[in-house]
Structure 1
Amino acid sequence: MLKLLSVLTFLTLTLPFLAHSFSPDHPTDRRILVLLDDLALKSSHSLFFKSLQSRGFELDFKLADDAKISLQRYGLYSYDALILFSPSVDRFGGSIDLAAILDFVDSGHDLIIAADTNASDLIRQIAVECGVDFDEDPAAVVIDHTSYAVSDTEGDHTVIASDDFIKSDVILGSKKIEAPVLFQGIGHTVNSENSLVLKVLSASPSAYSANPKSKLSNPPSLTGSAISLVSVVQARNNARVLISGSLSLFSDRLFRSKVQKAGSPKKHEKSANEQFLTELSKWVFHERGHLKAVNVRHHKVGEADEPAIYRINDDLEYSVEIYEWHGKSWEPYVADDVQVQFYMMSPYVLKTLSTDQKVMHVIPSRLSVFPVDFLLIPFLIFVLFFVLQGSYFTAFKVPDVYGVFQFKVEYQRLGYTSLSLSKQIPVRPFRHNEYERFIPAAYPYYGAAFSMMAGFFIFTAVHLYSK
């Protein structure tokens, strides 16, 4: 009997963890259309493509001017993401054009754009629509006479060794990038007021954009750290876009190249291009930084069912579970900046949600009711603690205002998909029989009324019965 109870208790406590860890639904893109200028890019950039295929992506390679290519069929998209390794294309084949690509992103799909010195107006226009402006001079490339890659053959300093990365573990992974990234291509700028665009790899303060084959007659338009080499965009619909000014950044040649940054004695046996682009592609294709919220609940304190209406001054509890996709499973997301608003035209209540640890105090009593093997107790406590990490809750009092309110969670954090949750609930005033009969604050008025009645009675008696 004890063995059976042990198994039942184990299954009861671990099923929620297993359900979230092995959930079949995942946000990552599975089918990717790759448009190329030349099919030779399949072999010259094979390491990047193999890294995607090893993670379970299905790549469909097409020439950019193929007359049969199409992003959708019968109103449904055939692909989950798009990679444009065709910087020189003036016009796409089939039904793909600028509007089709923008609609593809607007529908929540992801995009990678790699430009180059021969970038066409079409590629530049797509980048502009995504919030990025390439240098207007078609012959200009990024030059850096301080942070260039040391080489015996390259003397114009257009091969840059950059290590100015964005400081975000969710975008570039938790493993530190030790070596510089080799970059050779054109620079671009991003609007500082546009919070949707982020510079992932920036040029050094000594860099500038110009034509290396001609003398400078005027100051360059792009200089210093304002030049972005690689940028990313996360749209309001959580679609993600990667924009690079270099197609060779993804090449096997730069993946395998040794690198030494000018002025640094340290020589690296391998550039950081592979690590940088692998981690960045994980973010772009939602293998990291993708959040979901489940089990959004609210109820009165002491009750379990969600009511259809609240009364002013009710005590209530609100809870939600948040999970992050980690490539293979949903894992609890832990943060201390998740907030909920109790909102009607403006927030009447703003509370920071805390991680739910209340159930941890219930574990000993549960274990006493359902005996389990001694060796299972630490494991069960660990599992419960791990599952509850993603559960957030708070409690507050309904304000003394009636109307139609909303529970709103608007969560936005750098590198993570945004969460927008809302639940509508009406709030009513007290009924006529729910008010207090005698309010302590009104005792002076009660006393005044009764003293007035007593005084009138005494005055009447004295007036009637006195001579």
Structure 2
Amino acid sequence: MARSPLILVALISLIPLLCHSFSPETPTGRRILVLVDDLAVKSSQSLYFKSLSSRGYELDFKLADDPKIALQRYGQYLYDGLVLFCPTVERFGGSIDQAAILDFVDSGHDLIIAADVQSSDLIREIATECGADFDEDPAAMVIDHINYAVSENEGDHTVIASDNLIKSDVILGSSKIEAPVLFQGIGHSLNPANSLVFKVLSASPATYSANPKSKLSSPPALTGSAISLVSVMQARNNARILISGSLSMFSNRFFRSGVQKAQSSTKHEKSGNEQFLTEISKWVFHERGHLKAVNVKHHKVGEEDEPAVYRIKDDLEYSVEIYEWSGSSWEPYVADDVQVQFYMMSPYVLKTLTSDKKGVYSTSFKVPDVYGVFQFKVEYEKLGYTTLSLSKQIPVRPFKHNEYERFIPAAYPYYGAAFSMMVGFFLFSFVHLYSK
């Protein structure tokens, strides 16, 4: 009995060692849970998993229906990211369910969803919660009779060679993806009410979603550029999600396959899948496009210390340092669109911050002629970058009675009128009293 408290203390001390929270400063040792329908996926998609492992991620492979799997223990999450390569799973094992996965994202962790033909309702519902609606027909596939891959042509034109990539260096890297990306799977549309989700690999105008083994009896529900093949979402808490309608595009076969787009004479020895999925996984797991702000300062011009209160019409300076994670270190973030608001109910001052190219952003302005409780606010949102939301409160007081100017040039006419009336009254009284 005497040993029980010591054992309890020892177990509690081990809890932090079992838990890993996201931190770009320590990319090595970050744990990712990979849930699969069949452990054969571990070998069929080994090139993709190898690219993650080579960048310092520790992958934990589990069957999706394993009764022992869990995302957290003692209230702490065990993983930094979750990969769902289990499109047909009807029910997760252990303590994982749809609500647990959404809570995982709500806590700031990253998620990759790979659906496929015959995807279960569970995977579809998770994707719907993330802003992507898959075709309701379980047998539907994306078909394109113009932009199909010749080398992978099976007669139904379901293997698509797409080069409709998002034009964003922060998401896909600065190296251009020359070869088309092979895709075979189901399409999805984006929820127009969700402004956080956007396409990174789009279908062409000639694409439609239908069952390739049956004749069309009615117009397909999803057609043209409304179909998204791969989409991403960055939540308001900066958690990132990748949604793909194809598990095959992660496979070694598609990674190594040559590709020639129909109606094109150019043949590429290797598809763009490996480069595309490697680069986008860097974005999903915050190796790129991750910002941090430090050293937020404000003070009166000519001073260094931050005051407890400002006076109306004071001249002040505001500065903040912003850095971007490069994958190995924090580098100065350079942009010309960072703004600060001096805010009370609405912005009284809106100024664009000037960068010194070394990470420091600064500006100066005059406190408005309005007193109350103000805030310095920086709300920075840019496609592909984590959102910065900075706020610092400061009161603004009016002039004290002994701080006003004694003689205001604009009031000279009023001064003259007052003194002239005093002189006139004196002369009138003198004349009235001493005249007969």
What TM-score bracket applies, with the shorter chain setting the length?
over 0.9
**1:408 aligned to 2:372?**
no
Instruction: Deviation per CA, 1:162-187: give whole Å up to 9, x if none.
Output: 00001111111111110000000000
Q: Give the partner amino acid of 1:413.
A: K
Check conservation: 1:28, 1:287, Cα contact below 8 A: no
Q: What residue in structure 2 maps to residue 196 of structure 1? A: 196
Distance 2:397 2:29 in 1: 46
Q: Give the partner amino acid of 2:165.
A: F
**1:435 aligned to 2:423?**
no
Q: Alignment partner for residue 394 of structure 1, among 348, 352, 363?
A: 363
Distance 1:228 1:188 in 2: 5
- Between Structure 1 and Structure 2, the one with more helix by share is 1
**Superposition pairs of residues 71-110 of structure 1, within 5 angstroms:** 71-110=71-110
Distance 1:125 1:109 in 2: 19
Q: What is the deviation of 1:199?
A: 0.5
Check conservation: 1:27, 1:290, Cα contact below 8 A: no
Distance 1:77 1:28 in 2: 17
Check conservation: 1:29, 1:80, Cα contact below 8 A: no
Q: What residue in structure 2 maps to residue 418 of structure 1? A: 387
Distance 1:249 1:44, change over 3 A: same
Distance 1:192 1:27, change over 3 A: farther
Q: What residue in structure 2 maps to residue 167 of structure 1? A: 167
Q: Secondary structure at the match of 1:205?
A: coil
Q: What is the deviation of 1:193?
A: 4.2
Q: What is the deviation of 1:389?
A: 2.3
Distance 2:270 2:152 in 1: 17
Check conservation: 2:142, 2:207, Cα contact below 8 A: yes
Q: What is the deviation of 1:25?
A: 3.2
Q: What is the deviation of 1:265?
A: 0.2
Q: What is the deviation of 1:152?
A: 6.8
**Superposition pairs of residues 123-162 of structure 1, within 5 angstroms:** 123-151=123-151, 154-162=154-162
Q: What is the deviation of 1:441?
A: 1.3
Q: What is the deviation of 1:155?
A: 1.1
Distance 1:188 1:327 in 2: 31
Q: Which has the higher contact order (CA 8 A, sep 6+)?
A: 1
Instruction: Deviation per CA, 1:49-107: give whole Å up to 9, x if none.
Output: 00000000000000101010000000000000000000000000000000000000000
Q: Alignment partner for residue 421 of structure 2, among 440, 452, 456?
A: 452
TM-score after normalising by structure 1: 0.87
Check conservation: 2:186, 2:246, Cα contact below 8 A: yes
Unaligned runs of 5+ in 1: 1-22, 357-387
Distance 1:152 1:168, change over 3 A: closer
Q: What is the deviation of 1:416?
A: 0.4
Q: What is the deviation of 1:194?
A: 2.3
Distance 1:29 1:222, change over 3 A: farther
Distance 1:65 1:331, change over 3 A: same
Distance 2:29 2:260 in 1: 36
Distance 1:29 1:416 in 2: 24
TM-score after normalising by structure 2: 0.93
Distance 2:37 2:152 in 1: 30
Measured on the aligned residues, the alpha-carbon RMSD in Å equals 1.3
Identity fraction in percent: 82
Instruction: Deviation per CA, 1:357-402: give whole Å up to 9, x if none.
Output: xxxxxxxxxxxxxxxxxxxxxxxxxxxxxxx521100000000000
Q: Secondary structure at the match of 1:157?
A: coil
Check conservation: 2:374, 2:394, Cα contact below 8 A: yes
Greater Cα shift, 407-416 or 148-157: 148-157
Q: What is the deviation of 1:153?
A: 5.5
Distance 1:420 1:200 in 2: 25
Q: What is the deviation of 1:459?
A: 1.3
Distance 2:271 2:389 in 1: 40
Q: Give the partner amino acid of 1:424.
A: Q
Instruction: Deviation per CA, 1:136-172: give whole Å up to 9, x if none.
Output: 0001000000000003761110000000001111111
Distance 1:444 1:180 in 2: 79
Check conservation: 1:26, 1:325, Cα contact below 8 A: no
Check conservation: 2:313, 2:368, Cα contact below 8 A: yes
Q: What residue in structure 2 maps to residue 247 of structure 1? A: 247
- Show structure 1 runs of 4+ deviating over 4 A: 26-29
**Superposition pairs of residues 306-321 of structure 1, within 5 angstroms:** 306-321=306-321
Distance 1:345 1:298, change over 3 A: same
Distance 1:204 1:60 in 2: 36
Q: Secondary structure at the match of 1:165?
A: coil
Distance 1:29 1:466, change over 3 A: farther
Q: What is the deviation of 1:122?
A: 0.3
Check conservation: 1:69, 1:94, Cα contact below 8 A: yes
Q: What is the deviation of 1:26?
A: 4.8
Q: Give the partner amino acid of 2:176.
A: K
Distance 1:222 1:214 in 2: 16
Distance 2:236 2:407 in 1: 54
Distance 1:28 1:103, change over 3 A: farther
Check conservation: 1:206, 1:224, Cα contact below 8 A: yes
Check conservation: 2:152, 2:159, Cα contact below 8 A: no
